[in-house]
Homo-oligomer: A and B are copies of this chain.
Amino acid sequence: MLKDLPRYECILEAVRLHPDLDPSACEAYLNLLRAGDEAYRRSEVFLNEHNMSPGRFTVMMLLYDKIGGKPVPQTPADLAEKAGVTRATVTGLVDTLERDGLVTREHDSGDRRMMLIHLTPKGHSALQEILPGHFKQMAAQMAPLSEHERTTLVRLLNKVAGIPSAAHIVVHSAAPEGAAHAAGDIAAPITSK
């Protein structure tokens, strides 16, 4: 939210009035929020140019199988769970995506409570058109960092986000219960709720 962050000196000033304020924590926290927001907004600008929003894009990416490159149908509840939003939000996103002809709804033949959301050919080609630019855009944003710095950044971010340890995930990719590698299911966040 803050466009310009307070200088470190100003934070130190504020500590006089508020002894609870941990200056280095405050600085790290504000910079994290700002950098995250910056990166998010840049992507948003790019997506907007292609009649996309982060929410719409996420839904479409979830319908797009990264491994096979083929569209795979999913239920709204699946999409909500994977995207980390409510089912009501998915309903709204699918509404506009369907309106634009990028996805279709279909009743599940087995359980008629469920819907199956499909990427249409139009949706698939829209994605093909957007993805290269999106990837370039991500690469450009991270370009200032060396490979080593990226690794460090990921490690520190995971510490903050409450991910136990980045290391063990790659090592023993447990997956005790089968299925669903598509979006990866590493480290279920504490944000369960």
Contacts and interface: CB of A to CB of B under 8 A. Distances in A.
A173 interface: yes
Nearest to A175: B7
Copies of this protein in the complex: 2
Interface of A: 1-10, 13-14, 17-18, 20-22, 24-29, 31-43, 54-55, 58, 66-67, 69, 81-85, 131-132, 135-136, 138-139, 141-145, 147, 149-154, 156-162, 169-170, 173, 181-189, 191
Classify the interface of chain A: helix, strand, loop or mixed.
helix
A43 B159 CA distance: 17
17 contacts: A1-B55, A4-B189, A7-B170, A7-B181, A10-B184, A13-B67, A22-B135, A24-B142, A26-B138, A32-B36, A35-B36, A36-B36, A38-B160, A38-B162, A145-B160, A153-B153, A153-B156
